[in-house]
């Protein structure tokens, strides 16, 4: 699984950028999942008065609406993004909004001030409204995904491939591989490597296997 985040202020073109990338990545044969981070305190997918709402109000921690055309699993809390991503098996997962994940970022903006306020070392490209006016910003490419989704997808393929190679860590529980975002992989790698470096038999670059029962 490869992760990419599209973040920026409201009305800067996040959703437009995400939908254009979904279409282009699907055209290339990839499967794509998305996560939309919503920061409205009053937001609830379920509506008051429905049967599933009544289940949750009665105390159910997890409620599933099993419909003819879709299945909706409702948790009565905000889930940690790492726990949420274990439900995804797609080639790419696009995170819309700042989910706090250490992955490559596309920053959407209207103005240079928007860019400066949301800039981070993870930003690999800029898009959104400002992409109608310019093609680069301080060495970063500015790409209009409505017109050049292929160019942005090329960049995403290259960048996420490097991210995937950077942390070669596999976690399995009872033989089932558990998906992890790159920053979790890197954290596990650093913790394990740091713990065993002082032991006799440790060699730089060798595979380390830890089994816990």
How high is the pLDDT of residue 5? 94
Question: How many Cβ atoms are within 10 Å of 89's Cβ, its own excluded?
Answer: 11
How high is the pLDDT of residue 162? 65
| Residue 100, C-beta contacts closer than 8 angstroms, at least 6 positions apart | 81
State both tokens at 50. 């429905």
Rounded Cα–Cα distance for residues 55 and 26 (Å): 37
Q: Is 12 exposed, middle or buried (0-12, 13-18, 19+ CB in 10 A)?
A: buried
Residue 3 φ/ψ, nearest 5 degrees: -110, 140
Q: What is the DSSP letter of 142?
A: B
How high is the pLDDT of residue 113? 95
How high is the pLDDT of residue 164? 57
Please tell me the pTM assigned to this model: 0.71
Q: How remote is the C-alpha of 89 from its chain's centroid? A: 12
The angle subtended at Cα 88 by Cα 86 and Cα 91, nearest 5°, is 125
How high is the pLDDT of residue 163? 61
Residue 209 φ/ψ, nearest 5 degrees: -120, 125
| 3-state DSSP assignment of residue 27 | helix
Q: Where are the domains of the chain?
A: 2-38+81-165
Residue 21 φ/ψ, nearest 5 degrees: -70, -40
Report the CATH fold assignment for 2-38+81-165: Rossmann fold (3.40.50)
Buried b (16+ CB within 10 A) or exposed e, 60-70: eeebeeeeeee
How high is the pLDDT of residue 33? 94
Consecutive 10-residue averages of pLDDT for the chain (213 residues): 92 95 96 85 73 85 88 80 82 90 92 94 95 94 95 93 66 77 79 87 82 82
């Amino acid at each position: 699984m490869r992760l990419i985040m599209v973040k920026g202020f409201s009305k800067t073109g996040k959703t437009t950028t995400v939908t254009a990338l979904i279409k282009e990545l699907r055209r290339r044969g990839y499967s794509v999942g998305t996560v939309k981070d919503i920061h409205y305190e009053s937001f609830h997918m379920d509506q008051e008065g429905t049967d599933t709402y009544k289940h949750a109000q009665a105390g159910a921690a997890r409620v599933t609406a099993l419909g003819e055309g879709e299945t909706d699993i409702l948790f009565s809390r905000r889930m940690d993004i790492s726990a949420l991503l274990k439900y995804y098996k797609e080639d790419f997962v696009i995170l819309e909004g700042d989910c706090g994940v250490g992955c490559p970022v596309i920053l959407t903006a209207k103005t240079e001030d928007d860019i400066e306020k949301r800039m981070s070392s993870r930003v690999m490209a800029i898009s959104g409204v400002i992409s109608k006016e310019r093609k680069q910003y301080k060495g970063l490419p500015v790409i209009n995904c409505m017109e050049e989704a292929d160019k942005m997808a090329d960049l995403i393929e290259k960048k996420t491939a490097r991210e995937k190679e950077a942390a070669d860590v596999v976690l399995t529980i009872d033989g089932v591989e558990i998906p992890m975002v790159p920053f979790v992989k890197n954290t596990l790698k650093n913790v394990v490597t740091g713990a065993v470096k002082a032991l006799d038999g440790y060699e730089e670059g060798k595979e380390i296997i830890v089994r816990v029962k």
